[in-house]
Structure 1
Amino acid sequence: MRRPTDPARPAPPPAGPRLTPAGYAVLGTGVLGCGFGWGLGYTEAVVLGLAALAAVAAALLWTLKVPDVETRREVVPGRVARTDPAYGVVVLANTGSRTLRGLRAEDRVAGRPMLPVDLPPVPPGCEVRARYRLPTDRRGTVDVGPMLLVRGDPLGLARRVRECGDVESLLVRPRTVALPVLPAGRTHHLEGPTSDTAEDGTLTFHSLREYVLGDDLRRVHWRSSARTGTLMVRRMIDVSLPTTVVVLDSGRAGYTDRESFETAVDAVGSVVEAVARSRFPMRVITSAGLLPLGDNHQDADHILDRLALVDPEEKRGLADALDALERIRGGDTLVVVTGTVLPLPADRLARLRGRFDRLIVVRSGDGRDSVSGVRTVLLDRLDDLVPAWRREAMA
């Protein structure tokens, strides 16, 4: 995923060859050797000084010519689950007539320089690849770049740096585990919310969208089509399908540490993925409010992309998420995911039980606080969710 140039990124390196710290040290040694040797009449010192100066001059000449190369860096894959491997791949093609040696690539990841990647010699007309691992321990967007192509002399006295490659981004999404869909008290279609499988009485108008070849012409909305100049059709949903509402307490104060918060987001992602896999409708609410999903409320990839950008809130908590929940209608299954630091609001959860057929509270971290009559799942790590969820599915 390419990103536009960031005005706050570091200034590009200066053009032309530059001495390294070792090069400046050898240059100083050469100047001092020639000066003292000439002044005191020590021929050996003069010879040593001249040799040092010659080495510096040779290093500058070595790095003077701009290498004929085409360089790019790829982020593979562009989206990855937390802790899964992702790599920056450097691709270098020699477009000149001589073998290139002494090249290395230096990249910046999340604003910090990475260890340089030494590139092997590249014969004319050939291409080489080198890769390095990117950090994926935290969710969110990881900026990669700009990349620097460095050519140095064999002695390490001089180097020429050229900036190349666009700034790209790696999206680190929540880590998920496979969960079964919880059964609901209402009858629903096992094949998901398609108009073809639903009974006519269960369909209701949801929104308008552009006509796609194969759509039923009986659902064309002629008035909107005439107003917009584009053929529009009614989008129908099956209201008999079980609706799942997932509430994430994104307040920092509710969790013992950052890892317990990450486990909570992973749990939400796992539930969302299970519901989306069956193409059932859902809503996701955080302490900041209803997560905007648009028309992609059944697309697991879209929702996981949104969850990748959820950060801990300093001034909000579970109460704010439940306030947002009060403004939407009830459903079949309500899953509340929170930490273990703060006590559960027993009175509010008791009221919510009347609006939903099933209520489950998932708590991430250490603690044993629970509310009477409310199923509670305690998580020390994400893998603990699988057996507990299967027990809920069988209940």
Structure 2
Amino acid sequence: MSTSDHDAYSRLEYTSTGTGTRTRASTVTSMARTTRGTAARRDGVRVLVTGGRALAAAAGWLGETVTPIGWLLAASAVAGIAAGAVLGWSVGWMIGVASLVLLLTAIPFLAGGYSYRVQFRVDRDAVVAGSDVTGTVQVVNAARRTALPGLVDIPVGDGLVETRVPFLRPQATHEETIAIRAAKRGVIDVGPMSVSRGDPVGALRREVVWPQIQTIHVHPVTAYIPSTGSGLLHDLEGLPSSNIVNADLAFHAIRDYVPGDARNHVHWKSTAKTGKLMVRQYEETRQSRIAVLIGTEAEGEYSSDDEFELGVSAAASLSLQAVRDGRELIVTTGAQQPELSRGDVIAVREIPTHGIRPMLDGFSEIDRSLRMTRLEDVARLVSQTADRLSLVFLVSGSVMPVQRLRTAGSFFDAESTVVIVRCEPGADPVMRRVGDVRVLTLGRLDDLGQLIARGALE
């Protein structure tokens, strides 16, 4: 190899080696830059997330603290100061500064935390419609320092009751009594209560909510029904039917003995007289089982809310007397039909009848609305699932045609006495027969007891 070739080879080797070194350095530098870029992006995302959460928390605090009056003052402050600075309006400066001062003055009223213990009690959780319920609000300052005045908001049904709490020393107690008017049948939810604190202007407001809820059942008004009105209502041993059986309680007649008859049913006096075996024959007796069915359609049954309330009160009166007399009772109403249901779906609601209080609570919850199951469908379902019914009451309003009521009563067997109770406020009390069913027209709730006392069910 010549000297020139050797020098050329050396330069080539050096050049090649230098190029490789620069490539590795560039790769390391690029990786370092990529790592720093990823970390920077990660930090940027973290900052954005943290900032977003802080902004959301601030927005939530502002939404809970600033009232509409406060937002109005803030807008007035911004607009007034802007108008004064840009347009030189002195009135704008006055409005803006005054609004800002009011907002700043309201802030100290929010200072300090809440250390209240709040309790709400009612003297009774079940009343008859038209009565009053007394509630007691007790607020205790559990802190070690004096608590600023506050306001207790108590939702009562669709309304709101406000009670002011004065300055309270440590461990001091403030009680206040409120009257709750239970004018109509239904369910009244009292709560959840909230204690709020704010400035006199009402620009800022802090609120703490207690989740306690008291439920008051407002029972329907009921009328007294005499238990001597019909044997169907006061026979504890059961009702004799037209079915003849070989063993029961109600004696019917004596017949000739046939193979298979029980020896203990042999009537020995008749046997001695006739010279051949004679046995007793009985009428089958039924336990008095009563069903009360109530229509709840918003249209096509009742003409007004008063008429519907009369129907609920009549049904409750009949059911209450049946429970007091120890009858086996079934109370069923129509329920809300599913929106996508077909005609073969029957939704019903059964009122509990194992006690007077649960039953009346169930009557408090009855309501009428659209897409309720028709009374005829309720009757058809009850007739299929509840056998051996001795008495069936169908309660409806004056709008429902009698033909529909007769159709509802036709689902029950001939041994069941079907009574239709049509409620029509102001009408004269009338009892008439339409085919095999009895139709009672009620103008007032007291008419029900009078019709039964005159033997309307006999």
Q: TM-score range by the shorter chain?
A: 0.5 to 0.7
Q: Does 1:372 align with 2:437?
A: no
Alpha carbons of 1:383 and 1:92: their partners in 2 closer, same or farther (altered >3 Å)? farther
Unpaired runs of at least 5, structure 2: 1-58, 238-247, 250-284, 336-346
Deviations along 1:359-385, one digit per CA (max 9) or x if unpaired, are: 432111267895436543322343443
CA distance in 2, matches of 1:105, 1:187: 52
Q: Does 1:306 align with 2:362?
A: yes
Alpha carbons of 1:186 and 1:49: their partners in 2 closer, same or farther (altered >3 Å)? closer
Q: Name the counterpart of 1:58.
A: 105
Deviations along 1:135-162, one digit per CA (max 9) or x if unpaired, are: 65353x4444332211122343322112
CA distance in 1, matches of 2:233, 2:67: 72
Alpha carbons of 1:106 and 1:134: their partners in 2 closer, same or farther (altered >3 Å)? farther
Contact 2:377 2:408 in 1 (8 A): no
Contact 1:254 1:317 in 2 (8 A): no
Which residues of 2 match residues 27-66 of structure 1 at below 5 A? 53-66=100-113
CA distance in 2, matches of 1:319, 1:337: 11
Q: CA deviation at 1:81?
A: 3.5
Counterpart among 282, 288, 291 of residue 242 in structure 1: 288
Alpha carbons of 1:61 and 1:338: their partners in 2 closer, same or farther (altered >3 Å)? same
Alpha carbons of 1:97 and 1:319: their partners in 2 closer, same or farther (altered >3 Å)? same
Contact 2:153 2:194 in 1 (8 A): yes
Q: Name the counterpart of 1:209.
A: none
Alpha carbons of 1:15 and 1:163: their partners in 2 closer, same or farther (altered >3 Å)? farther
The residue type paired with residue 266 of structure 1 is S
Q: Does 1:342 align with 2:400?
A: yes
Contact 1:338 1:362 in 2 (8 A): yes
Alpha carbons of 1:98 and 1:80: their partners in 2 closer, same or farther (altered >3 Å)? same
Tell which has more relative contact order, 1 or 2 (C-alpha 8 A, sep 6+). Answer: 1
Q: CA deviation at 1:390?
A: 3.2
Q: CA deviation at 1:35?
A: 7.3
Q: Does 1:126 align with 2:212?
A: no
Q: CA deviation at 1:97?
A: 4.3
Q: Does 1:322 align with 2:357?
A: no
Q: Name the counterpart of 1:391.
A: 454
Alpha carbons of 1:304 and 1:321: their partners in 2 closer, same or farther (altered >3 Å)? same
Q: CA deviation at 1:27?
A: 5.2
Unpaired runs of at least 5, structure 1: 1-12, 191-200, 203-238
How many residues are aligned here? 333
CA distance in 2, matches of 1:162, 1:393: 59
The residue type paired with residue 198 of structure 2 is G
CA distance in 1, matches of 2:408, 2:90: 92
Deviations along 1:42-74, one digit per CA (max 9) or x if unpaired, are: 999989976664443232112121232112334
Q: CA deviation at 1:269?
A: 0.9
Alpha carbons of 1:243 and 1:290: their partners in 2 closer, same or farther (altered >3 Å)? farther
Contact 1:297 1:303 in 2 (8 A): yes
Counterpart among 322, 334, 347 of residue 275 in structure 1: 322
Q: Name the counterpart of 1:234.
A: none
Contact 1:152 1:160 in 2 (8 A): yes
Alpha carbons of 1:145 and 1:15: their partners in 2 closer, same or farther (altered >3 Å)? farther
Identity across matched positions, percent: 22
Alpha carbons of 1:297 and 1:168: their partners in 2 closer, same or farther (altered >3 Å)? closer
Q: CA RMSD of the aligned region, Å?
A: 4.2
Deviations along 1:87-140, one digit per CA (max 9) or x if unpaired, are: 664331122345545321224455x5625333444444213234353665353x
Which residues of 2 match residues 96-135 of structure 1 at below 5 A? 96-109=143-156, 112=158, 114-124=160-170, 125-131=172-178, 133=180
CA distance in 2, matches of 1:109, 1:256: 29
Q: Does 1:148 align with 2:194?
A: yes
Q: Name the counterpart of 1:180.
A: 226
The residue type paired with residue 304 of structure 1 is L
The residue type paired with residue 94 of structure 1 is N
Q: Does 1:262 align with 2:321?
A: no
CA distance in 2, matches of 1:129, 1:331: 52
Helix, strand or coil at the partner of 2:132: coil
Q: Name the counterpart of 2:18.
A: none
CA distance in 1, matches of 2:71, 2:233: 78
Contact 1:187 1:240 in 2 (8 A): no
CA distance in 2, matches of 1:33, 1:352: 79
The residue type paired with residue 64 of structure 1 is A
